[in-house]
Amino acid sequence: MSEAIMSEAIGEIGRLRARLKEVRARGASIGFVPTMGALHAGHEALLEIARRENHFVVASIFVNPLQFDRKEDLDHYPRTLEDDLHVCDRCGVHLVFTPTQAELYPEPQMTFVDSPALTSTLCGQFRPGHFRGVATVVLKLLNIVQPDRAYFGEKDAQQLALIRRMVRDLNVPSEIVPVPTIREADGLALSSRNKHLTPAQRAIAPVLSRALRQAVELIGEGERSAAVIRERALALFAPWPEARIEYFELTDPQTLAPLDRIDFAGPVLVAAAMWLGSTRLIDNMSWPAQ
């Protein structure tokens, strides 16, 4: 754990840029962790790594309306700013950018970042417009903060692939640093959405990570048919009809194109989404393990 400090909170773009100009004048490197708040141990891992690798750490907390395809999700997204600022203090974050919607979107947004090739599969096929909203706000934040490095969790694999490609294609001078997924003891990937699970749903939820692990193990044992791997992994859900599988795919981690056969040495991304009641969970694992 980094030494706790009192994080400085700034909500205005102009003030943020002026403050970071002072930081750069000292020759300090800047690490950046963009978040939507409701911070948990997964976010803390991002912040801790950013603190180790940079002189100065910026986090942002902004619930981005552009990436919500369902208004009820936006309305119900947890907003816990006071608690989040305490987490930032504890993790040694120097500055927290807390813009309002009017600050980031002072006028109706007419320009967007889109990558249909990377967003037509996996979550993208079920969440129209979501990744356009993600890419747009991330590019805005990268342009505002101009960090040396920005940190993103591997749990959101499609988001990570999209942002990595966006930064390359649009010549953004920030390094994108992936951070491994943080899990509960029973394998469930940490997510702000987990708090919406009932106790009964929470008991079922780890089956998602077990199915992904089963798929990765089958690849490691030599199985090369994606259909066979998927069928055997999905069999693990049979005892829990409450768990509704949205997708379970084996893909190329760079292009996110689905694979029918694994006729190369990897890597392979196994990604899935599952509904428990009104809560949607996503997770992924890679072969060979990263």
pLDDT of residue 1: 61
Give counts: helices (H), strands (E), the chain: 11, 9
Classify residue 246 as left (phi > 0), alpha (psi -120 to 50) or beta: alpha
Let me know: does 163 contact 152? Beta carbons within 8 Å: yes
Rounded to 10 deg, the angle between the 157-169 and 130-145 helix axes is: 50
pLDDT of residue 69: 82
Output the tens digit of pLDDT for each of the chain's 290 residues. Answer: 667 778 999 999 999 999 999 999 999 999 999 999 999 999 999 999 999 999 999 999 999 999 998 888 888 888 999 999 999 999 999 999 999 999 999 999 999 999 999 999 999 999 999 999 999 999 999 999 999 999 999 999 999 999 999 999 999 999 999 999 999 999 999 998 898 999 999 999 999 999 999 999 999 999 999 999 999 999 999 999 999 999 999 999 999 999 999 987 889 999 999 999 999 999 999 999 86
Helices (DSSP H) in the chain: which residue ranges? 13-25, 41-53, 71-76, 81-90, 101-104, 116-119, 130-145, 157-169, 199-204, 207-220, 226-234
d(CA 60, CA 151): 12
pLDDT of residue 2: 67
Query: Which residues, 6+ apart, have CB-to-CB distance to 182 below 8 Å?
Result: 41, 42, 45, 153, 189, 190
Query: Which residues, 6+ apart, have CB-to-CB distance to 140 below 8 Å?
Result: 104
Q: Which amino acid does the sequence have at 83? A: D
Strands 279-287 and 268-276: antiparallel
Beta bridge partners of residue 177, listed in sequence order: 151
Ordered structural domains, the chain, with CATH: 8-179 (3.40.50.620), 192-287 (3.30.1300.10)
The two tokens of residue 78 are: 């947890």
Residues tagged active-site: 43
What's 225's DSSP letter?
A: B
Q: For the chain, give the number of residues.
A: 290
For 163, half-sphere exposure in the C-beta direction (CA atoms, 13 angstrom radius) is 28
